Amino acid sequence: MRAERKDKRRSEIESVALEVMRQRGYEGASMLNIAKAAKASNETLYRWYGDKQQLFLEIVKSNAADAEAALDKALAADLPPENILEEMGKRMLHLLLGERAVALNRAAASDASGHLGAAIAKGGRERVFPKIVLLMGALRKAGLIDPPDDEQAAMWFLSLLIGDLQTRRVIGTLPQPTRTQINEHVETTLQAFYRLCGPR
């Protein structure tokens, strides 16, 4: 198989795996079920990924890469920092509460070994948080906020933004929000954030 076709096939399989997992849960997403749904043989799955956990590890990694790219795009935009913050908020909620991230968090919660959870944290929070801290620095220098320190401001922003939405999505009691709902929530969050961190 040519390299490009193989890459395409891999991401196809990974996408199917996530869909199976979404419908039948992590335990229901057996290698056999995934292989059938992807019209692949389980031998190929085992050859390519080793086992189920590593398959999902791959998915976590590629999802993290996509997410980071989406956020970096917002950060690289030539906009004033307050607009970048708004854009980041929208994109983060869209990513965090979307089907992919929710399915992966469910998988991590199901995985007793903790490896999936560690990978999610490594590709997610540990990568994103520093960017938010830097953004807070930019906001502070622009005189838009006056927090105790940038890290605290980042924590507050993320807490206000995400709240218990993620947990509710993961345990299945909250449907995926629409784009409009996300925008409204970001709006409210920003008001609260500036009220909390704004200059006196």
Partner DNA sequence: GTAAAGCCGTATAGATGTGTACGATTTTTG
Partner DNA sequence: CAAAAATCGTACACATCTATACGGCTTTAC
Residues 156-175, one symbol each (x = binds a copy of itself by CB under 8 A, - = not), give: x-xxx-xxx-xxx-xxxx--
Q: Which two tokens stand for residue 135?
A: 């953004």
Does 2 sit near DNA (CB under 7 A)? Answer: yes
* Binding partner at 40 among DNA, a copy of itself, none, C-beta below 5 to 8 Å by kind: DNA
- DSSP for 52-100, written as a single string: HHHHHHHHHHHHHHHHHHHHHHHHHSSS-HHHHHHHHHHHHHHHHTSHH
Q: 150-162 and 125-141 are packed helices; what angle lies between their axes, rounded to 10 degrees? A: 120
Min dist. Cβ of residue 185 to DNA (A) = 37
User: How many other CB atoms are there within 10 angstroms of residue 188's CB atom?
Assistant: 11
Number of residues that bind a copy of itself (CB under 8 A): 40
Q: Which of 15, 19, 22, 30 binds DNA (CB under 7 A)?
A: 30
Specify the stretch interacting with a copy of itself by CB under 8 A; choose among 32-40, 42-50, 75-83, 149-157.
Answer: 149-157
What whole-number distance in Å separates Cα of residue 16 and Cα of residue 11? 8
Q: Closer to a copy of itself at the Cβ: 9 or 24?
A: 24
Q: Which two tokens stand for residue 134?
A: 């830097």
Does 112 sit near DNA (CB under 7 A)? Answer: no
Pick from 23, 114, 24: which is nearest to 60 by CA?
114
Does 25 sit near DNA (CB under 7 A)? Answer: no
Does 5 sit near DNA (CB under 7 A)? Answer: yes
Q: Which of 70, 75, 118, 190 binds a copy of itself (CB under 8 A)?
A: 118
Q: Which two tokens stand for residue 53?
A: 């956990």
Contacts of 80 (CB under 8 A, 6+ apart): 142
In the chain, how many H helices and how many E strands?
11, 0
Residues that bind a copy of itself (CB under 8 A): 23-28, 105-106, 108-112, 114, 116-118, 120-121, 125, 152, 155-156, 158-160, 162-164, 166-168, 170-173, 188, 192, 195-196
Residues that bind DNA (CB under 7 A): 1-2, 5-6, 9, 28, 30-33, 39-44, 46-48, 51-52
